[in-house]
Structure 1
């Protein structure tokens, strides 16, 4: 967060509060108005108001004062995927002329749970849930978490105190106190699309389409595109809790009159996975048969009977007539040949007799 402008005015009660407790006047940077007692070790924040009375000190956090003065608070964000390594940036970097021995560093989650703490260069606290998964950069104080889990999702806070060593005491001064939000993502499976035809006609098919995906985080949005037009799914989300993996299923009822392209998309934390399916119109259309009327049946029967009688008569008389006309000429021709041969032989015999 950034709130660098000097304080030029306070309400009377707020100004007197700081003057009485710390002997500080308006016109100084806000950071100098935020002493933290050494007894706050490890530091623990108890409410969003963040006004804590400890050993006579009144400590009001920098975000709270910035909000009172109407200044915007810069929100830091870190993103990571389950199983990967992610770094949470801190609000202070130790100068090269100093070391971690001159500081106290507290990394907290949800303002109440200490993740990792260092004092005078030594680790003084580590949460069991983060055991062997956290590492602190000794220069820029970045908190590294690896591998990250879904439970790591949420708001964190880096609190840095600079230590001034006096003869018999250590006086801490808060250097920065800034939140950073970690957004964890777990990939969803590739969407699976299935289609079931409930009823069909020559004009259209009534189809139920289901799109499902599972195992992701956070809660996703499901969207669809049908032939370049957006469609709204009837979606159901299932998860054990708000910080558990999600399963999502969307249902869609469609009236398909032609081949149609459908795309289902699962969107989460800036990521998206999509699957497409071509819904084909069924072509096995069968027109209903209309039974013929009784008049049509009677007329058809008469026509068939007449046709059969005509065929029978034709088969009975036509072959004999043809045979009588084509067989008789052939027999007479054979007899004429025989008669001519006999005549020739008789003539030959007669001529021979005469010569003798």
Structure 2
């Protein structure tokens, strides 16, 4: 029982040492995995590191080196210092370092994307070979998308809003990337279409969005690839070339207007009748006096008869 207090610190120390070794192993493993991924862009020159380096006391003649892709396709192979195999697709595009055994590819193509493996064998005098290493390395090939292009097409228009079809497109990128849109810095969700000949070909992307624009807004389209983003913005304007519909007058106004029109028409009718009668009365009186004068003139004179009778007596 007296030994327990002394044993406890020793046990705790062992646990801490074990935990430290685990953490150190994880860190070293993560560092190793990080070194085995190489990134490159289409058209660049890239070097894939091998898992072994030939010491200065030896030469390539003492080794057999195989660089293969997907463990089935031999890219480049050397034996006793001589090139013994080279893939047709990598013709005039690959070289290997004679010391560090690095595989150089130039220019990089989309089809070069994928896992590679460097297998190193050491040749002995007995012609037996010993495999020194066969660790893989992954080549991650990317291609930059073009700067996004935004187009807007008006589909319908009214005084309240303008309906638009907004499209954003970009081409020539690899692999598939994130494409996003925003209205006045507020994210929107749209339909995205990817077009590519195969999984190892350049991509073209188009995003489409239907909008009801009630005021002028700024639309931004962004595409992110390999940690870098390209953006384009366009001002979407609400069109103002519309005519507001005429508002019908109230019922009371219509009724009052109708009464005024009817009274006005009656007044005109009565005035016309009065004027016609007044003109007719003035025109008829002179005609009657003329006729009476004619009749008086046609009567025989009374004084002529009297004188005749007097003369006969």
Common topology (TM > 0.5): yes
The separation in 2 between residues aligned to 1:78 and 1:219, in whole angstroms, is 18
In the alignment, which residue of structure 1 is the partner of 2:165?
208
User: 5+ unaligned residues in a row in structure 1: which ranges?
Assistant: 1-70, 306-356
Q: After superposition, where does 1:28-177 map in structure 2 within 5 Å?
A: 74=33, 76-165=36-125, 169-177=126-134
**TM-score normalised by length of structure 2:** 0.68
More helix by share: 2
Superposed CA offset, 1:182-201 (max 9, x none): 11122222211111222233
State the partner residue of 2:208: 251
Contact 1:191/1:211 (8 A) holds in 2: yes
Contact 1:222-1:233 within 8 A present in 2 as well: no
Query: Taking structure 1 as the reference length, what is the TM-score of the superposition?
Result: 0.60
2:134 match: secondary structure: strand
Return the offset for 1:301: 5.7
Whole-Å separation in 2 of the counterparts to 1:289 and 1:158: 82
The SS at the match of 1:276 is: strand
Distance 1:137 1:189, change over 3 A: same
Q: Provide, for residues 265-323 of structure 1, a one-character-per-residue CA deviation record: whole Å limited to 9, x for no partner.
A: 12233333221111122233422113557446547769999xxxxxxxxxxxxxxxxxx
Task: Select the residue among 235, 240, 245 that pairs with 2:197.
Answer: 240
Q: Rg larger in 1 or in 2?
A: 2
Distance across 2 between alignment mates of 1:121 and 1:304 = 120
- Distance change (3 Å), C-alpha of 1:230 and 1:290: closer
Please tell me whether the aligned partners of residues 216 and 245 of structure 1 are also in contact (alpha carbons under 8 angstroms). yes
Post-superposition CA distance 1:100-128 (Å, at most 9, x none): 11211110001000000011111111001
Q: What SS class does the counterpart of residue 33 from structure 2 fall into?
A: coil
Secondary structure at the residue paired with 2:111?
helix
Gap runs ≥5 in structure 2: 1-28, 266-313
Asked whether the equivalents of residues 190 and 274 of structure 1 are also in contact (C-alpha less than 8 Å), the reply is yes
For residues 117 and 260 of structure 2, the distance between their equivalents in structure 1, rounded to whole angstroms, comes to 96
Query: What RMSD, in angstroms, separates the aligned Cα atoms of the two structures?
Result: 2.6
> What does 1:223-238 align with in structure 2 at a 5 Å threshold?
223-238=180-195
- Measure, in 1, the Cα distance between the counterparts of 2:128 and 2:69: 25
Distance 2:260 2:156 in 1: 38
With over 3 angstroms needed to count, the CA separation of the structure-2 counterparts of 1:303 and 1:160, relative to structure 1, is: farther
Q: CA 1:302 to 1:177, structure 2 compared with 1: closer, same or farther past 3 Å?
A: same
**More deviation, 141-150/268-277:** 268-277
Per-residue CA deviations over 1:238-258 (Å, capped at 9, x if unaligned) read 111101111111111222222
How many residue pairs align between the two structures?
235
| Distance of 2:170 and 2:152 partners within structure 1 | 15
